[in-house]
Amino acid sequence: MSKTLVTGGTGYLGRHLVDNLLAAGIPLRVLCYSDWKAEALAERGVQVVLGDVTQPETLATLAEDVDVVYHLVGGGSDGRRDPFELNTQGTRHVAEACQSAHLRAFVYVSSSSVYGQQPGPVDEESPTAPPTVYSRSKLEAETLLLDLARSGGFPAIIARMGGIYGPGAPILGQEQLQRGRLRITGDGSNVISVIHVEDAVRGLRAMAEYAGRGGTQRVFCLADDEPVPVLTFHSHLANLLGAPPVQLTSVRRVRLLIGVVRFLARVVGQKAPITEDLIRMATLDVHMQNRRMRRELGLEPRYPTYREGLAQVAAALGAEEEE
């Protein structure tokens, strides 16, 4: 029986996707980086392959009997791993491991940050201008997959994902928010595109079905209906939770902090864990439109704006506190 493969299945989006696929009774294989996470997945009936996308020799059996791939592994925006090694080369290695498989769909999760600073709304046909090493690595991964699709029929399809939120999502900084310690870089007026994790999973599932019908070589912006200023987004959740106001930190102050960290890193002969890319990502304006998502995937968001989505987050947190 054919299986569905998920890479990055232990991350925030990956865990929700795995839950959704298991609930649907879909035979599942997950590429896992660590033993202890692998054990938890195996206990749920998931077939686990221990491996690393940056080490192609560990991926030899990854795609055996697989017909759908959700490639979620990514990172490097925090400076701990090289983004090009992880996102670009890692994607190349996974795609190469899948070349002999009879795939119906290879769904790649990219990032809204590939657009860079834009003066207004963007869609799938808008020019890209990735402003950071991380976003450039994601765009290069997109390009190599679309090249494979055009030249060799590889069933690649690309999700440019908005900021994913939901209960426990890293983007929310819930613990810091509730303690009054959440800080936003800049004045918080920059607008971001977001999507609730339930809608993100539904979007990925719809994209796999779309690719399975022959709709490959396609890019989709996955986001809700209403881009929102960063400060408005976090302040709305703070109000719902009765948390202290969100704090602002000037770009100048963050830049000084980065300078100090980089100086200390040089003194001890280590690579600095943060760069100016931190500021560029934190102050990015991205107004993604989701018309293609709605029209071609037929996806109506369950949480059309951050208001409905954050209300669900607050309700989920309240239910946890009552238990």
| Strand ranges, E, within 65-155 | 66-71, 105-111, 121-122
| Residue 215: predicted pLDDT | 84
| Residue 78: predicted pLDDT | 55
| Residue 166: predicted pLDDT | 97
Coil/strand/helix, residue 99: coil
Q: Domain 3-166+195-227+288-303: give its CATH code.
A: 3.40.50.720
Determine what percent of the chain falls in helix, strand and coil, rounding each to the nearest 5.
45, 20, 35
Q: Helical H runs in 162-196?
A: 174-178
Instruction: Report the C-alpha gap between 181 and 178 in whole angstroms.
Output: 8
Each residue's pLDDT tens digit, 239-292: 999 999 999 999 999 999 889 988 888 898 888 777 888 889 999 999 999 999
If one counts every other C-beta atom within 10 angstroms of the C-beta of residue 242, the result is 8
Domain ranges of the chain: 3-166+195-227+288-303
Beta bridge partners of 229: 191
| Residue 2: predicted pLDDT | 82
Q: 283-313: buried (b, 16+ CB within 10 Å) or exposed (e) per residue?
A: bbbbbbbbebbeeebebebebeebeebbebb
The number of residues in the chain equals 323
| Residue 262: predicted pLDDT | 86
The ranges of the chain with pLDDT < 50 are none
